[in-house]
Chain A
Amino acid sequence: MGGMSMVVVAVVVLTALIFDFTNGFHDSANAMATSIATGALKPRVAVAISAVLNMVGAFLSVQVARTISAGLVNESRIAPAIIFGGLVGAVIWNLLTWLLGLPSSSSHALFGGLIGATWVSAGANAVHFTTVLDKIIVPALASPIIAGVIAGVATYSAYRITRRTDRTLQARGYRAGQIFSASLVSLAHGTNDAQKTMGVITLTLITAGILPAKSSPPIWVIASAGLAIALGTYTGGWRIIRTVGRRITDVETPQGFAAETSAATIVLASSYVGAPLSTTQVCSGAVMGAGVGKRGGVVHWRVVGRMVLAWVCTLPAAAVVGALAGRLAGTGTTGTVAVAALGIAVAGGIYWLSRRQPVTAANVNTVPAPAPATP
């Protein structure tokens, strides 16, 4: 990587942890949105449980971390500055979609940012496009559909089997079940998503020559990545939780239980196979499936449409920001500082905009005005 200072490496590692934090608050909706919406867990309790389990999950598996750092881009061709640019692209896209309350995939934002920065700085042939297609895009297209169908079947079965059961008992029983199913999603999320940051930090250390090629993440990397995602999760991305829990469909406890159980199983199975899938798309797909699977259930397809649009845009949008940031950061230390300053300015601006209509633990379950007629 030639002449990169330890300072630049430190800046990249710090940015990776910031990305991990945004990943956490972006994705707390995945595990907890339906539990919060049905009242199975109080908002603050839900995010606290999710944070702890994400932390635990981070320590349990490093399989995806290896997949990302060893196959996506040509490690011998990229410098820490490129990774930095990619991370900035991912963080900015994550913040923008959070502002809009859209549950987009943090994985895709990260991959997009890295791909864009690598492409511009090291050439298109430093990006392994076939790996990107096989290991990321195809699983990502398939996972929400698979999750939707399975959650739909599960929801239908749940209502069918308990159709003569007392409604109050039914609601209470599935509410209790949701505590377990949501917890399992959180644990599975930790095993998947904290690993992405570990993968990126490990990749940075490898390109800087600090670690030998194809190394596993060192323990301090695992610990700091787990802590960052846990803190982000506890902060709670209430805007996205409200969308997933209240705006896709009116979630009842049997639906919440069916969606979470289906999502947990799919995330675990995919993690076991070693595919870095999008937890977000699995979970959102499962909530949609739960809406379809209930007789007379209403899915707000306009909200789903906006979500799918955000999913399609995530990889290319993050790639463009990543490419610009990577290009500028690649010019040297001044460029890197400029990118950091711009990134902080944009993040501050997005935060300022979010304060105009804040969504917190207190108002997460109230959807104020009916959705406007025009998008």
Chain B
Amino acid sequence: MHIDWIAMGQVVIAGLVAGVGTVVVFSLGMAALGHRVVDVSHARKATAATTAAWSCFGACLALLAVGVYLIIGGR
């Protein structure tokens, strides 16, 4: 029996980095968006929160694009 530990390890690392990573970045975006709502309701400038939120969501879209690219161009 030959278990391909390297392949298995690659799947785990991909899951932790790309899977958990995407969720973390998206969640940071959500938290920033929450801050923005609070800032706006207190009539404060919300530029920093807004920028942070959309940077996070942009990064998620980029990760999504990487996923699609891996399907299309990966082989």
Which A residues contact B (CB, under 8 angstroms)?
57, 60-61, 63, 130, 133-134, 138-139, 142-143, 146-147, 150-151, 153-155, 157-158, 161-162, 164-166, 169-170, 173-174, 177, 180, 184, 187-188, 191, 254, 257-258, 261-262, 264-266, 268-275
Query: B30, A173: Cβ atoms under 8 Å?
Result: yes
- Which residues from B are CB-within-8-Å of A139? 8
- B39 to chain A minimum Cβ distance, whole angstroms, is 13
A187 adjacent to B30 (CB under 8 Å): no
Number of B residues with CB within 8 Å of any CB on chain A: 36
Q: Which 10 residue pairs of A and B lie closest in terms of their CB atoms, listed nearest first?
A: A165-B34, A265-B19, A269-B14, A161-B27, A154-B23, A150-B15, A273-B7, A262-B19, A269-B11, A173-B30
Instruction: Decide: A180 and B64 in contact? CB cutoff 8 A.
Output: yes
Question: In the complex, A177→B15 CA distance in Å?
Answer: 18
**Min CB–CB distance B18 → chain A (angstroms):** 5
Nearest A residue (CB) for B4:
A134
- Write out the residue numbers on chain A whose beta carbons fall within 8 Å of the beta carbon of B43: none
Within 8 A of A (CB), among B41-75: 60, 64, 67-68, 70-72, 74-75
Partner of B26, one of A138, A142, A143, A177: A177
Residues of B contacting A191 in the complex (Cβ-Cβ under 8 angstroms)? 71
The answer on a CB contact under 8 Å between A158 and B4 is: no
When the two chains form their complex, are residues A187 and B68 in contact, meaning their CB atoms are under 8 A apart?
yes
Q: Taking the nearest CB of chain A, how far is it from the CB of B54, in angstroms?
A: 12
Check B8–A264 contact: CB distance below 8 A.
no
Q: Is A161 a contact of B31 with CB atoms below 8 Å?
A: yes
Contact assessment for A153 and B31 in the assembled complex, using a CB-CB cutoff below 8 Å: no
Residue contact A146 to B22, C-beta cutoff 8 Å: no
- The reply to whether A257 and B4 form a contact with Cβ atoms under 8 Å apart is no
16 more CB-based (< 8 A) A-B contacts, given A262-B15, A266-B19:
A63-B75, A138-B3, A142-B8, A150-B20, A154-B23, A154-B24, A162-B30, A169-B37, A191-B71, A257-B26, A258-B23, A262-B19, A269-B15, A270-B11, A271-B71, A275-B4
With A133-B1, A180-B64, A262-B15 known to touch, is A162 a contact of B31 (CB < 8 Å)?
Answer: yes
Given A161-B28, A166-B34, A173-B33, the answer on whether A265 and B22 have CB atoms closer than 8 Å is: yes
Cβ of B46 to closest chain A Cβ, rounded Å: 14
Q: Are A187 and B15 in contact (CB under 8 A)?
A: no
Contact yes or no, B11 A154, CB < 8 A: no
Question: Which residue of B has the minimal Cβ distance to A183?
Answer: B64
Assess A162 versus B27: contact at CB under 8 Å? Given A134-B2, A134-B4, A273-B10.
Answer: yes
> When chains A and B are docked, how far (Å) is the Cα of A357 from the Cα of B33?
44
Provide the residues of chain B in CB contact with A187, threshold 8 Å.
68, 71
Q: Are A266 and B75 in contact (CB under 8 A)?
A: no
